[in-house]
Amino acid sequence: MTILINILALVGAAFILLAALGVLRFPDFYCRLHAAAKAGAFGGTLLLLAAGCYFQTPRVWAQIVLTILFFYLTTPVASHLLGRAARRGKIPMVGDDSDV
């Protein structure tokens, strides 16, 4: 169990670092949205699972499951709204020379 918790914590931190690097390095807004939405939510989920494997009481597991469900259900909604706002606000895409 200790090894599992260590691996989950390390991989979760690596995923959140990859999400931040993607947000820093990707060329346009929509690519950055993709990196922040998926990798960010996955890294947080892995770290929360590591904490759940450590505490192992029903109260903490209920709280962890609630947090993961909420985080995983709301991140796509927020990203979708941001993407729609950007598309309607005529934020340009890479490789799209036409008028959006």
Among 66, 94, 96, 100, the residue binding other proteins under the rule CB under 8 A is: 66
Question: Given the structure tokens 């989950």, which residue do they identify?
Answer: 8
CA–CA separation, 3 and 51 (whole Å): 13
CA–CA separation, 69 and 2 (whole Å): 24
Q: Cα-Cα-Cα-Cα dihedral of 7, 54, 17, 72, to 10°?
A: 110
Least Å from the CB of residue 60 to other proteins: 5
Nearer CB in complex with other proteins: 21/96: 21
Question: Can residue 78 be called a binding residue for other proteins (CB under 8 A)?
Answer: yes
Question: Can residue 85 be called a binding residue for other proteins (CB under 8 A)?
Answer: yes
Question: Can residue 16 be called a binding residue for other proteins (CB under 8 A)?
Answer: yes
